[in-house]
Amino acid sequence: MSASFSHTKACRPVFVVGYMQSGTTLLLRILSRHSSVFTGAGETKFYDHLHMLRKRYANLKDEETLKAFVGFVVHIVKHGWRLGGENGEAFAAAENAREENAPHVRALIERAREVQDHAEIFPLVCDHLRHHAGKTRWLEKTPTHILHIDEIVASVPDALFVEIIRDVRDVLASKKTRRRDVWESDRHAAQEKKFKHLEKAYDPLWDALSWKSCARAGRQAAAKHSERYISIRYEDLVRAPEEVMRKVCAFLDMPFEPEMLQIGTRNSAERGERAGEGISADAVERWRRILTVPEVALCQSVVKTELAEHGYAPGQIPFSARTKVPSLVAHSMFEFTQRLSRRWRMGGSLYLFNVISLHWRRFRKIVHN
């Protein structure tokens, strides 16, 4: 039995998916300004960590366990999934906010007892908070949920998906810039900076492979679930925001509202620059001045097919740059072990296991067919 309510298309839940640094946050900010839409303050990462949640809250027939799990889901839908720092406990914030979440838990617990399923409690909570906020539909944005489309459809049968895809080279340029900013910025306290050093990562090989896996997952989902799936490009959105958002709104069966595009702070600003107002195309092709030519060569060799599929022209690579690619690959082998170590320090062994599981899903998408 599904916990999802039966919705008309104009009220159906929406998932924004893609790959990190591809414009999912920009798309969320636009859609969340629609008068009908409820969304929380962060990424729930629910389906990324569902296996871990099933282990931590194993026995939902136990009343206290069920209440704790519902409270946790309420918290991540409202505030997003956040690790608290090195060796951070992802569940501590929800447990500390138990009193704040208690009214919602009381309102949900009877229905949750009927469901007795971790995955189906998620849309139950979202629908409750949507109703509590006086909205007609809810929206969730976790980029890597693109790897879990079938699981989401199983627990949210009327879900709609909006995928945003961006030139992988600009994605890498954004990740490289953010990684650099962690080291050079003085905006963060020492402990926060230490955690962000663990969190932010950049590597041209692994990040290109991760983007490739999400691009392939999106292609497969669009083919399998064409009636509930739409894909847009970041470059098209920032260059013609009204045209693209009218298309998205038509797909979601909700009227376009001009106020949606009034997002305030610009979506793109280099470190040291003042962010302007509104939607900006400044970040398009920023990779040309951020990435080194060997980094571009490595990236393009990994995603050649996907670049062509999505209409991105490859850059010209001189032979001298190609000769430096093997040294980047060698460094990537070391970087992979460092990433796993950082994830263990961030969230412990269960969190690390889920990260490895996510990498495995990405690998399977790459080798599919």
d(CA 343, CA 355): 8
| Weakest-pLDDT range from 81-95, 157-171, 216-230 | 81-95
pLDDT of residue 171: 97
329-354 b/e (C-beta count within 10 Å ≥ 16 → b): eeebeebeeebeebbbbbbbebbbbb
Distances (CA, A) of 145 to 214, 234, 292, 351, 357: 9, 18, 30, 16, 13
Selected residue with higher pLDDT from 3 and 22: 22
Beta strands (DSSP E) in 209-355 are 229-233
Could you tell me the pLDDT band of residue 10, with boundaries at 50, 70 and 90? Answer: confident
Distances (CA, A) of 265 to 20, 66, 91: 19, 40, 31
Which residues share a beta bridge with 101? none
The full set of domain ranges for the chain reads 9-167+214-261
Mean pLDDT of 251-269: 84
pLDDT tens sequence across 217-237: 999 999 999 999 999 999 999
What is the percentage of the chain residues whose pLDDT exceeds 90?
65
Unique residue bearing structure tokens 């839908």: 77
pLDDT tens sequence across 269-295: 444 444 556 799 999 999 999 999 999
pLDDT of residue 46: 96
Region of 180 (left: φ > 0; alpha: ψ -120 to 50; beta: rest) is alpha
Cα first-last separation, the chain: 33
pLDDT of residue 237: 97
pLDDT of residue 297: 96
pLDDT of residue 146: 96
Q: From the CB of residue 226, how many other CB atoms can be counted at a distance below 10 Å?
A: 9
Average pLDDT, the chain: 86
Could you tell me the pLDDT band of residue 89, with boundaries at 50, 70 and 90? Answer: low
pLDDT tens sequence across 98-155: 899 999 999 999 999 999 899 999 999 999 999 999 999 999 999 999 999 999 999 9
* pLDDT score of 325 more than 50: yes
Could you tell me the pLDDT band of residue 264, with boundaries at 50, 70 and 90? Answer: confident
Could you tell me the pLDDT band of residue 4, with boundaries at 50, 70 and 90? Answer: very low
What is the percentage of the chain residues whose pLDDT exceeds 70?
83
Could you tell me the pLDDT band of residue 334, with boundaries at 50, 70 and 90? Answer: confident
pLDDT tens sequence across 27-48: 999 999 999 999 999 999 999 9
* pLDDT score of 239 more than 80: yes
d(CA 277, CA 263): 8
CB-side neighbour CA atoms (13 Å) of 108:
31
pTM confidence score: 0.86
pLDDT tens sequence across 193-202: 555 555 567 8
269-298 b/e (C-beta count within 10 Å ≥ 16 → b): eeeeeeeeeebbbebebbbeebbebbbbbb
pLDDT of residue 332: 83
Unique residue bearing structure tokens 């949210």: 156
Nearest one of 139, 158, 169 to 27, comparing CA atoms: 139
pLDDT of residue 191: 53
Could you tell me the pLDDT band of residue 85, with boundaries at 50, 70 and 90? Answer: very low
Selected residue with higher pLDDT from 312 and 345: 312
Nearest one of 203, 206, 201 to 183, comparing CA atoms: 201
Name which CATH class applies to 9-167+214-261: alpha beta
